Amino acid sequence: MNLIILAWSYLKSRPLTTVLNVVLLALGTGVITLLILFGNQLEEKITANAKGVDLVVGAKGSPMQLILCSVFHIDFPTGNINLKEAERIARHPLVKKAIPMALGDSYRGFRIVGTRRDYAELYAAELAEGKWWEQHLEVAIGATVARQLGLKLGDEFVSAHGLAEDGHDHEAHHYKVVGIVKPGGTVLDNLILTNVQSIWLAHDLEVGPAGNAAPSNLVPGHLAGDSSREVTSLLVQYRNPLAVIQLPRFINQQSSMQAAAPAYETARLFSILGVGADVLRGFALVLILVSGLSIFLVLYNSMKERRYDLAIMRSMGAGRGKLFTAVVLEGTFLTALGTVSGLALGHAVVWIFAATVPQAAASGIQGGVWYVAETWVLGGSLVLGVICSLVPALQAYKTDIHTVLAGN
């Protein structure tokens, strides 16, 4: 016999109320856990994917769309930009590095990106098998692509125009898998990488050697200043902090292109999503407060029913402090049970979501991650449990043995 058994026995003696309180609290803390898991992982993924990209230069249109398309590969291109103009930007003294992106084709839902090898270096990607592309139409595929499509080294495929699985096929040209990239938890896992010329080839455009003309600073092996060729966008790294102010203004005002900063656009995206998250969080907090109130009421009422128990315990030698502790323990048990269920619920929902929704799996969101913020949820709920049981515990503390047992 001890206080834990005693507190637990009281919870067991009214199973329906206990379950109701646990469920109420579990819903509240579950939603909070869900927000923590999604919010943090989304932010981590976004930060990891936008790493090393200071500015994206593309065709005029929505800057958010440009970022979503060129950095996160979840939206359609805003259009194309002229290679000659793009080269001009790449030569700008404030630009340290410019990586071209040729987008628009896909294979069974996975994007084909015509770029340079330093795009993969941006994410410190390594090969699991094979080699990086060297010839036109050679591709290195991301880990998720390889797993989901069952592609192996040496496999060939034809690309489709657009991003849908049933787009028009470019049947004349076959891509060949020469490398498979190790999984890195970035957007690279879901991409098929090749050189820019391969994309042009697939669209029946000629790609010739540079010959004697100066080679392009963006597309190695192509001649410079070719205004008949286009790319989708440029990923730009600044040379120095001065570029933060000058470069976007220069591009937006003095060219037919637009420049968008991933940092700014993702912050904007978060502030838009944030409203929804705030509403959910508010709702969850209301649930938690209501469950706190409910726990208080249950304990408060049960103190009246339990006054004989309390008096008997005191007659057996229990000090006031012991009864106080027993009630606080009961409230804390209840909230601990609810919160642990809520945390488990949140993780389970994310886990099921990641296991059943392909987009979630592709984005790399997992249910089995623990964040420090969850410890705060647990701690906060335990404090709530203590607070809710303070007044009932005080009633227990003040139990007058004589009055109760004498029945007057």
CB of 297 to another protein, least distance (A): 19
Q: Which is nearer to another protein, 263 or 404 (CB)?
A: 404
CB of 335 to another protein, least distance (A): 19
Question: How many whole angstroms separate alpha carbon 226 and alpha carbon 83?
Answer: 6
When binding is defined by CB under 8 A, the residue of 93, 209, 274, 319 that contacts another protein is: 319
Say if residues 229 and 28 touch (Cβ distance below 8 Å).
Answer: no
When binding is defined by CB under 8 A, the residue of 150, 317, 356, 368 that contacts another protein is: 317
Strands 156-157, 230-231: parallel, antiparallel or unpaired by DSSP?
unpaired
- Options 8-16, 57-65, 158-166, 254-262: segment touching another protein (CB under 8 A): 8-16
When binding is defined by CB under 8 A, the residue of 251, 318, 334, 350 that contacts another protein is: 318
When binding is defined by CB under 8 A, the residue of 44, 309, 373, 390 that contacts another protein is: 309
Number of residues that bind another protein (CB under 8 A): 24
- Options 10-18, 40-48, 106-114, 345-353: segment touching another protein (CB under 8 A): 10-18
CB of 19 to another protein, least distance (A): 16
- If one asks whether residue 394 binds another protein (CB under 8 A), the answer comes out as no
- If one asks whether residue 370 binds another protein (CB under 8 A), the answer comes out as no
CB of 324 to another protein, least distance (A): 13
- If one asks whether residue 301 binds another protein (CB under 8 A), the answer comes out as no
Q: Which is nearer to another protein, 15 or 150 (CB)?
A: 15
Q: Which is nearer to another protein, 18 or 159 (CB)?
A: 18
SS3 labels along the chain: CCHHHHHHHHHHHCHHHHHHHHHHHHHHHHHHHHHHHHHHHHHHHHHHHHCCCCEEEEECCCHHHHHHHHCCCCCCCCCCEEHHHHHHHHHCCCEEEEEEEEEEEEECCEEEEEECHHHHHHCCCCEEEECCCCCCCEEEECHHHHHHHCCCCCCEECCEECCCCCCCECCCCCEEEEEEECCCCCHHHHEEEEEHHHHHHHCCCCCCCCCCCCECCCCCCCECCCCCCEECEEEEEECCCHHHHHHHHHHHHHCCEEEECHHHHHHHHHHHHHHHHHHHHHHHHHHHHHHHHHHHHHHHHHHHHCHHHHHHHHHCCCCHHHHHHHHHHHHHHHHHHHHHHHHHHHHHHHHHHHHHCHHHHHHCCCCCCCCHHHHHHHHHHHHHHHHHHHHHHHHHHCCCHHHHHHCC
Site string for another protein, 13-32 (x = CB under 8 A): x-------------------
- If one asks whether residue 314 binds another protein (CB under 8 A), the answer comes out as yes
Q: Which is nearer to another protein, 307 or 347 (CB)?
A: 307
When binding is defined by CB under 8 A, the residue of 182, 256, 308, 376 that contacts another protein is: 308
When binding is defined by CB under 8 A, the residue of 315, 358, 359, 379 that contacts another protein is: 315
CB of 332 to another protein, least distance (A): 17
- If one asks whether residue 260 binds another protein (CB under 8 A), the answer comes out as no
Structure tokens, 123: 């994410």
When binding is defined by CB under 8 A, the residue of 89, 311, 334, 362 that contacts another protein is: 311
Where do we find the tokens 């099921």? 352
Site string for another protein, 320-339 (x = CB under 8 A): --x-----------------
- If one asks whether residue 304 binds another protein (CB under 8 A), the answer comes out as no
- If one asks whether residue 212 binds another protein (CB under 8 A), the answer comes out as no
Say if residues 185 and 354 touch (Cβ distance below 8 Å).
Answer: no
CB of 401 to another protein, least distance (A): 5
Question: How many whole angstroms separate alpha carbon 303 and alpha carbon 297?
Answer: 10
CB of 405 to another protein, least distance (A): 6
Question: How many whole angstroms separate alpha carbon 187 and alpha carbon 193?
Answer: 12
| Residues of this chain that bind another protein (CB under 8 A) | 1-2, 5-6, 9-10, 12-13, 308-309, 311-319, 322, 401-402, 405-406
